[in-house]
Structure 1
């Protein structure tokens, strides 16, 4: 059994997600100690628990130490079972981080596999839903990973309640691609999401982002998504594609930060 020190580097949850995913891909049992030792609240959090529970069920793994706050985990994978699975993070924990772990784990699936999640779509310290759907997934499609995603409902901190769906298709062959060549980026696309907040917030954010982009000689086309949610929140994701490369930026709105500042920051990034 391969032993992994969860305190290595920044000592965060990415070590757990990546280690377990690679364990499934390689069929190598692992043991992780000192989980998230570099964080103020060490041990597994609800979104880590959900990701590991999802992977455990899909590949029928044997797992010891799978509980919130656990600092030690043993994971022994078995074969992937295609089908449809539903999980609830239980909080506003990031669904995009759960999907990242599951996606890497399921690359050897023999048939389409669908995961439905409930939790947070746009939360701090994680990729936003639009970054995941419009930047991350299109980039990995260039190496041969085929997916389909559906946003049913957004979920924000602290309530969560968002609903999403990811389908992973069998990978025939992984390809290489180079993103090192210089590209000419001219157009920016984007989405501003807003729930249970006044219309003027997203309008001001949009105008500030477009104005900032124009100063840098970019054309910006930004949509506003004002869909219902059980919680309130807002944010912006921008991206630009040229050749094989996609560059992106995402910023969440905060009570202490003006809508203009959020839009300007996203466009500057």
Structure 2
């Protein structure tokens, strides 16, 4: 059974990864992800199904379009492979369960946003706002065990059912970190007279919060900020560019941080609570 579950996870990850590649290229250009059928971005020749097999076609075609011989971007291979690995890791840990379905959906959203921001400096609202709404719906069926809303509402004598309490955790996780990020961007804009963060980053944070809850989302913000600062600093040193000229794809760092926290962040939170809050 474990072998069958693993195969299902890998195949699903490859197929979803292939679709994510379509979204990453088409959404910033306002092209439908349904029609037309897959085509070469360089010569726009339609791609046959046998040239569109995830990962396999990349190597069979030797990384080039069959028709114009233009190089196929490395991103296509990486996104498909990365999504398959993440789906495998989730299903290996949780099995074929509703919790695994929710986490796999989050992984897909984060992979799409990570590479869309890295390549296009674009965060599709279908993934951020749409993903947030789906996360809120999932919270009604798969509990968000953050316990923050439990404690806050319990202090006022409010005791809801598990489903409503889970939804409250999801709403709190979406609203507070996103609001904090929006306020920080607003203060930066007032002080520096230029945009610090786009609304796409704010909505992405809200999407993360709807899936992960408040504590894990705040941890994601911290990890993403550290990643962005370190990589940005190294980039500036390597290219000798001025700090103000570096356009930081913050959504990319949030995406990587979100993946790390979603897979292992609960252990970090439990360790922190056990050692520093007890």
**Could you say whether these structures have the same fold, taking a TM-score greater than 0.5 normalized by the shorter chain as the test?**
no
> In which range does the TM-score fall when normalised by the shorter chain?
under 0.3
Please state which structure has a larger fraction of its residues in strand. Answer: 1
Please state which structure has a larger fraction of its residues in helix. Answer: 2
The structure with the largest alpha-carbon Rg is 2
